[in-house]
Amino acid sequence: MLPPLRIGLAGLGTVGAAVLRLLERQAEVLTRRTGRKILVVAVSARDAAKQRGVDLSRFKWFDDPADLAKYGEIDLFVELIGGADGVALACVEAALGAGKSCVTANKALLAKHGMRLARLAEEKAVALSFEASVAGGIPIVKTLREGLAGNSIERVYGILNGTCNYILSRMETEGLSFEQCLSEAQKLGYAEADPTFDIGGFDTAHKLAILTSLAFGTVIDASAIAIEGIESISLADLEAASELGYRVKLLGVARRTPDGIEQRVHPTMVPKSSAIAQVMGVTNAVTIDADAVHELTLVGPGAGGEATASAIVADIADIARGVRSPPFGLPVATLSEAENAPMQLHRGGYYVRLSVFDRPGAAAAIATRFAERDISLESIVQRRRPGAGDETPGAVPVILITYATHEKIIREALDAVVDDGFLAAKPQFIRIERE
């Protein structure tokens, strides 16, 4: 039998405590799986006295996680501190530098410093694993890095933020406003007091940056991601989407296009019949389009202590078994600098909702602005909608669904419609993503 794998764990919040419990509960079977004992020997957290439902007396305590990272009696450092820089970065760098493998759930850290840390791990021939950093308990990192090793990937997209999906699901099923659902999510602990990071799409973007690199073998470039949050989505949009056979989801999408790799995070209309449209509440889902496997979808919990711990323990077990491969599947030195496809060149269908002053010729004028630019319309719906509530007096909603066109063209058409002076409010548009 191999010598035990000795772990130092920094960060004892919900996830850290769940990792300790899971390693203990599964100790026997993990030893059989990996051929060795997996032992947590030392921990670090901000407050030693806090009650966590776990007996910490067995572990050596470090006040400073940086000391734990370099501690000579550990083989593996588990970073659950959080934050893109500062302590987390210093600890992971120190641990890798000292020749210790690292497991982290820190998507912000990876989105910003992933390449540098992966290069360090490769130099030291240790593992840097981060299954828990994307989509919680869903083994999407392993699937992209190993399970689809023989595929050339065309697109990866998914629901990567449970808070947003919870809010959009509740709005649709209960007919509540965005503000009502956000406040509800905050009460339930699904959203932070300052929810910007989630609802603004930034959390999704961090995760997407990691998926893009894994899927396309490219250097992480989070700055290339076009990001829009869900703040602008109204009940009127969800109702109109539903009538037209669509549902609105906040998606992260990375796609290989003739113009380069497109990375974007935005509210997206998906056909109700699609697998991704069925995913409600805090659940996450990722779909991969690839040349050999065609389409693969994984659906599961995107957050929560136990689900995240499941991913962390799987990483630990792989490291215990001696599995070593480049953290991003390919050696960092061979990752390509992706050509970034600009959003203006994005091609797809669009949903457009206009609040139009109820004057003769308005709808015709609008249709003309689209026709001039060769934008074909799949549908156009104009009517007085009793009770919609958010229309300016004297204005009626006009909903259009376009066939595939370019972002640049649709924006020009909307600018022209605005200039015509028929609109009572800023036009709303939502991109459509098809299977």
- Least Cα distance to 340 among 434, 257, 253, 433 occurs for 257
DSSP string, 288-303: EEETTTEEEEEEEE--
Pair of tokens at residue 311: 């991913």
Per CB under 8 A, does 26 bind a copy of itself? Answer: yes
Give the number of other CB atoms < 10 A from CB of residue 302: 27
Residue 107 annotated as part of some ligand binding site? yes
Q: What whole-number distance in Å separates Cα of residue 184 and Cα of residue 189? A: 9
Three-state secondary structure readout of 4-55: CEEEEEECCCHHHHHHHHHHHHCHHHHHHHHCCCEEEEEEECCCCCCCCCCC
Per CB under 8 A, does 306 bind a copy of itself? Answer: yes
Per CB under 8 A, does 314 bind a copy of itself? Answer: yes
Question: Of 207, 249, 408, 426, which residue is the catalytic one?
Answer: 207
| Mask for 182-221, x = binds a copy of itself (CB under 8 A) | -----------------------------------x----
Per CB under 8 A, does 121 bind a copy of itself? Answer: no
Stretch of 31-39, 354-362, 396-404, 421-429 lying at the interface with a copy of itself (CB under 8 A): 31-39
Stretch of 25-33, 45-53, 104-112, 368-376 lying at the interface with a copy of itself (CB under 8 A): 25-33
Q: What whole-number distance in Å separates Cα of residue 174 and Cα of residue 40? A: 45
Pair of tokens at residue 147: 């399970």
Q: What whole-number distance in Å separates Cα of residue 153 and Cα of residue 293? A: 9
Residue 124 annotated as part of some ligand binding site? no
Non-local (6+) Cβ contacts of 103 within 8 A are 76, 77, 78, 79, 127, 129, 130, 132, 312, 315, 316, 319
> If you ran DSSP here, which 8-state letter would residue 375 be given?
-
Residue 252 annotated as part of some ligand binding site? no
Q: Judge whether 100 counts as a catalytic residue.
A: no
Using the CB atoms, write b or e for 166-192: b if 16+ within 10 Å.
bbbbbbbeeebebeebbebbeeeebbe
Per CB under 8 A, does 295 bind a copy of itself? Answer: yes
Stretch of 52-60, 85-93, 232-240, 302-310 lying at the interface with a copy of itself (CB under 8 A): 302-310
Non-local (6+) Cβ contacts of 308 within 8 A are 15, 18, 105, 132, 136, 137
Q: Which is nearer to a copy of itself, 233 or 298 (CB)?
A: 298
Contacts to a copy of itself from residues 328-387, by CB under 8 A? 329-331, 334
Per CB under 8 A, does 48 bind a copy of itself? Answer: no
**Using CB atoms within 10 A of its CB, is residue 50 exposed (0-12), middle (13-18) or buried (19+)?**
exposed
Per CB under 8 A, does 16 bind a copy of itself? Answer: no
Stretch of 24-32, 178-186, 354-362, 404-412 lying at the interface with a copy of itself (CB under 8 A): 24-32
Q: Which is nearer to a copy of itself, 85 or 146 (CB)?
A: 146
Pair of tokens at residue 434: 């098809």
The distance of Cα 14 from the centroid of its chain, to the nearest Å, equals 20
Q: What is the dihedral of CA 58, 63, 67, 68, to 10 degrees?
A: 30
Out of 17, 270, 290, 343, name the contact with a copy of itself by CB under 8 A: 290
Pair of tokens at residue 421: 């002076």
Contacts to a copy of itself from residues 49-108, by CB under 8 A? none
| Mask for 124-153, x = binds a copy of itself (CB under 8 A) | -------x-----xxx--xx--xxxxxxx-
Residue 12 annotated as part of some ligand binding site? yes
Q: How far is the CB of 238 from a copy of itself (least distance, A)?
A: 18
Out of 66, 84, 244, 296, name the contact with a copy of itself by CB under 8 A: 296
Instruction: Give the annotated binding-site residues.
Output: 10-17, 107, 192
Sites of contact with a copy of itself (CB under 8 A) = 18, 22-23, 25-26, 29-30, 32-34, 131, 137-139, 142-143, 146-152, 217, 275, 278, 290-301, 304, 306-307, 309-310, 312-314, 316-318, 321, 323, 325-326, 329-331, 334
Instruction: Give the annotated binding-site residues for NADP(+).
Output: 10-17
Instruction: Give the annotated binding-site residues for NADPH.
Output: 107
Active centre residues (catalytic): 207
